[in-house]
């Protein structure tokens, strides 16, 4: 998962550096599956296996034919020895070439499926960061392919999943591919990329920063004693109070 966009996006190699296919942020090498290399070993291995299969078929057939001709020249055309030697040799070469060609085709197909799955993952991750709208130019730049090839990838996805991928054209003639599921997935997975619509504010109203408190029982606040105002004209008593006058001393 990319630490920046929080998308489970594959990486793309540009030179020796790796980048996220969703947001373009630098990623560590071998951090995820690469769209450049995904499926390539299987495709190359399948092609090599199919080449060996054709070589085995051609040379096996020629070897069986040459053996049959040589044996026929030695023992005669009506003898059984040329058939006993040449026919098993031809059958072995044909069977071996069949399995090589079939295995190579299966291996190459698995590589193509792997590459397609990785590109599909990259497309949905890119759509999550673009609000569900992807253009062929954006996809080509993100995964390192041409715009025409990216358009083919998006067209195949639109044909295979018409309920999830739709094609739209804006007023300027630019083709967009809308991913409805990716649009809502972007809000759920990365809310920072989205801003909810806000209510219109009055022209002269200041923005309020107060937050509404949760509902609950009223809290009673202790009353503070009222401050006593002191007249500066009043005499200031010392620690033991003012000295009593003669009348007060007589009363005591």
**DSSP track, the chain:** --TTT-----EEEETTEEEETTT--EE-TTSS-BTTTTTHHHHHHHHHHHHHHHHHHHHHHHHHHHHHHHHHHHH-TT-SHHHHHHHHHHHHHHHHHHHHHHHHHHHHHHHHHHHHHHHHHHHHHHHHHTTTEE-HHHHHHHHT--HHHHHHHHHHHHHH-TTTEEEEE-TT--EEEEEHHHHHHHHHH-GGG-----PPPPTTPPPP---PPPP-PPPP-PPPPPPPP--TTSPPP-TT-SPP-HHHHHH-
pTM of the entire predicted model: 0.61
Structure tokens of 243? 């000295």
Say which residue, 198 or 175, is predicted with more confidence.
175
244 within domain boundaries: no
Q: Which domain holds residue 98?
A: 40-112
More confident residue, 57 or 206: 57
Q: Is residue 22 part of a domain?
A: no
Between 22-36, 169-183, 228-242, the lowest mean confidence (pLDDT) is in 228-242
Report pLDDT for 73. Answer: 82
**Residue 249 domain-assigned?**
no
pLDDT over 70 for what percent of the chain?
70
- Decide if pLDDT at 158 tops 70: yes
Q: Can you tell me the distance from the alpha carbon of 105 to that of 54, in angstroms, rounded to the nearest whole number?
A: 12
Mean pLDDT of 74-103: 85
Domain-embedded: residue 96 = yes
The answer to whether residue 45 is domain-embedded is: yes
pLDDT value, residue 37 = 87
pLDDT given at position 187: 41
Q: What is the pLDDT of residue 110?
A: 92
Q: Is residue 61 part of a domain?
A: yes
- Tell me whether residue 157 is in a domain: no
Q: Is 186 domain-assigned?
A: no
Rounded Cα distance, 119 and 114, in Å: 9
- Relative orientation angle of helices 81-129 and 147-160, to the nearest 10 degrees: 90
Q: How far is CA 212 from the centre of its chain?
A: 38
Number of domains in the chain: 1
CB atoms within 10 A of CB 35: 22
pLDDT digits (tens, 9 = 90+) for 25-58: 888 888 888 888 888 889 999 999 999 999 999 9
């Amino acid at each position: 998962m990319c630490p920046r966009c929080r998308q489970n996006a594959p990486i793309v190699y540009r030179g020796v550096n790796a980048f996220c296919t969703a947001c373009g942020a630098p990623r560590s090498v071998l951090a995820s599956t690469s769209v450049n290399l995904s499926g390539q070993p299987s495709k190359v291995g399948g092609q090599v296996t199919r080449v060996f299969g054709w070589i085995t078929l051609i040379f096996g057939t020629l070897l069986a034919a040459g053996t049959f001709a040589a044996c026929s020249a030695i023992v005669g055309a009506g003898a059984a020895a040329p058939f006993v030697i040449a026919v098993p040799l031809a059958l072995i070469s044909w069977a071996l070439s069949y399995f090589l060609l079939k295995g190579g085709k299966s291996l190459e197909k698995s590589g193509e499926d792997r590459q397609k799955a990785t590109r599909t993952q990259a497309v949905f991750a890119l759509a999550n960061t673009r609000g569900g709208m992807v253009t062929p130019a954006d996809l080509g730049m993100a995964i390192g392919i041409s715009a025409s090839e990216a358009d083919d990838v998006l067209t195949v996805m639109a044909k295979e999943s018409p309920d999830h991928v739709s094609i739209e054209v804006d007023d300027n003639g630019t083709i967009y591919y809308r991913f409805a599921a990716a649009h809502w997935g972007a809000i759920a997975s990365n809310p920072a990329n989205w801003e909810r619509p806000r209510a219109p504010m009055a022209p002269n109203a200041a923005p309020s920063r107060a937050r509404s408190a949760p509902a609950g029982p009223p809290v009673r606040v202790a009353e503070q004693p009222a401050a006593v105002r002191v007249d500066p004209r009043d005499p200031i008593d010392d620690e033991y109070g003012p000295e009593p006058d003669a009348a007060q001393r007589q009363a005591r």
